[in-house]
Amino acid sequence: MMKPDTSGGPWLRINTSPGVLFAAGALLFPAFLMQQDLVVRALQIVLFITFNAFSGRRVRPVQFLIVSTGIVLFNLVIPTGRVLVSVLGLPLTEGALKSGLFKATAMTGLIALSQFSIRSDLRLPGRLGGLIGRSLFYFEKIMGERRRIDRRDIIGSIDRLLLEVQGPAAPGTQAKAEGSTSTWSGVLALAVIVCVNWGALVVTLVHPRPFWG
Amino acid sequence: MIPKPIPFLRVGIANLPILLSLDLLPAPLLLLVVLLKVLGQGLIGGTLFSYVFLFSAVGSFASGLSMLLFRRLFGSRISLVGVGVLGALFSNTAQIVLARLLIFGEGAWLIAPPFLALGTVTAALLGAFADRFAARSQWLVSAREIG
């Protein structure tokens, strides 16, 4: 644990380590996926998107909206349950709408949750973790030099880049990245969020609430 | 680097190393490269806890296993274009089945024709690029010598 860092940068990135964020994401994952109340799910998604902003991730609400609309529309194609309304002679059914909304919120919510809780500097333990670290080291080196790829000689320029990159060996241990340790305030914020989400799940399981009808 | 025409739709550039590794690595190491690709994409894109990761894993392993099988069965009688197209068909079919189960329901069959067609075209282009790269690359020559 460290003292709170008051320097610039996204709050969540500065105050939480990749490992603690990963653990919080793993705890939030079942609490979100098992949530059956659509309104609570929508609130959870708003919370996850807010956390994305705090972690410096670019939030793309339009992309979420396009994906969600697509999923709902595809589910409406097959009518199931009570007809709510007819649009241009096509029945809009309750079962299909509920199913579409559940799947759309699951898709977008898990993406939002995953994006704030998984950081690219997360180092997984063990031999596989080491291999992933080395792969990302080379990936970052290539991406750092990508401007050198020449459109007039794509194959030749990529080949030269690969020959240069394969030279230096990947370091066994890497320098600590920004926010590689957690502060008390960061851990506390994540603990509160995890508890609130699990609390909401318990409440909605004990007192299920009908959405409509 | 490459823009996505539709959210979450990928052109499949990340399959290029897999295609090039087909003649370079034994089967277990090739599958390890597939695993590293899937986990690396999940970490960089931050999708490890989402359905996107599941789709990526299922598609990548379906593609990797099928490409490996066809390359081992037919050797140089099948080009990287053919191997890539077959890999894309297996990958996209597996992803459509998953989409049918998890997201779109029966409506998933509606996206199947354009999804498969687009996947075939991009895979053919990527395979053609891989064929030309494999013929010209000095890096591949040095990698073969190391291996």
Residue with tokens 């990135």: A13
For the beta carbon of residue B108, count every other beta carbon within 10 angstroms: 21
Residue with tokens 């994906």: A67
Q: Given a cut of 90, is residue B97 above it in pLDDT?
A: yes
Residues of chain B with pLDDT > 90: what percent?
A: 65
ipTM over 0.90: no
Smallest Cβ distance to A110: which of B49, B129, B142?
B49
pLDDT, residue A97, reads 92
pLDDT: is A61 or B25 the higher one?
A: B25
pLDDT, residue A165, reads 85
Supply angle C-alpha A105, B90, B11, rounded to 5.
65
- Yes or no, beta carbons of A75 and B107 under 8 Å apart: yes
Are the C-beta atoms of B115 and B6 separated by less than 8 Å?
Answer: no
pLDDT bracket for residue A32 (50, 70, 90)? very high
- Yes or no, beta carbons of B47 and A122 under 8 Å apart: no
Residue ranges covered by each domain of chain B: 13-146
- What is d(CA B86, CA B26) in angstroms, rounded to the nearest whole number? 20
Q: What is the pLDDT of residues A165-210, one digit of tens each?
A: 876 565 554 444 555 788 999 999 999 999 999 999 999 998 887 6
Instruction: Enter the tokens of residue A190.
Output: 């994540």
- Yes or no, beta carbons of A118 and B42 under 8 Å apart: yes
pLDDT, residue B143, reads 85
pLDDT, residue B5, reads 46
Mean pLDDT of chain B: 88
Are the C-beta atoms of A24 and A198 separated by less than 8 Å?
Answer: no
Which residues from B are below 8 Å from A159, CB to CB?
A: 133, 136-139
pLDDT, residue A211, reads 59
Are the C-beta atoms of A99 and B105 separated by less than 8 Å?
Answer: yes
Are the C-beta atoms of A125 and A93 separated by less than 8 Å?
Answer: no
Q: What is the pLDDT of residues A53-69, one digit of tens each?
A: 888 887 788 888 998 99
Q: Given a cut of 90, is residue B73 above it in pLDDT?
A: yes
Q: A 153-182 residues with CB below 8 A of B?
A: 155-156, 158-159, 162-163, 166
Q: What is the mean pLDDT of residues B20-24?
A: 92
